[in-house]
Each structure stands twice: as structure tokens, then as C-alpha cells.
Structure 1
């Protein structure tokens, strides 16, 4: 059952790719709005 789901996900991705869909990375992280947010903010990868 698991392999069938994995194969289905990859099959759908292949169909999207063949129609010209491309991967889009997420936008850059903005600075926190307040000092409190800045104290708890994490950089990507931490």
C-alpha cells in the first residue's frame, strides 16, 4: 500500500512536470516586526 501511494505521488509530479510546472522556492525570510519576535526568531536551518 505504501509503495502504491509513493508511486502515485511521483506519477502526478511527473505529469505536472511534463506540462511545464516548475519548482518555486519560498520567499526570503523578513525581519521580525517587534523586539519580542526578534528574541524568539530562528534563522532557517537552525
Structure 2
């Protein structure tokens, strides 16, 4: 999905929402719903 790809590329949530064609509210809702499955950044 375009939103998650944009987030993975480091875009801010609002920019990722625009890239995916959804509202900021929808993007923040998705983040809230999927928070438990978002991986933490890996640091070596």
C-alpha cells in the first residue's frame, strides 16, 4: 500500500497520507490501528 511505502521511506505521516490519497485523519487512524504490528527501527 502506498501509505506504508511512503512511511517506510521516511515521509512524515501527513506527506504519506497525501501520497496515498487519504486524509490525515485516516492516516493517523491507520497508525493507531496497526501500531502493534509496526516494526521498531533496527539499529546495528
Normalised TM-score (structure 2): 0.35
Higher helix fraction (1 or 2): 2
Normalised TM-score (structure 1): 0.34
Structure of greater Rg: 1
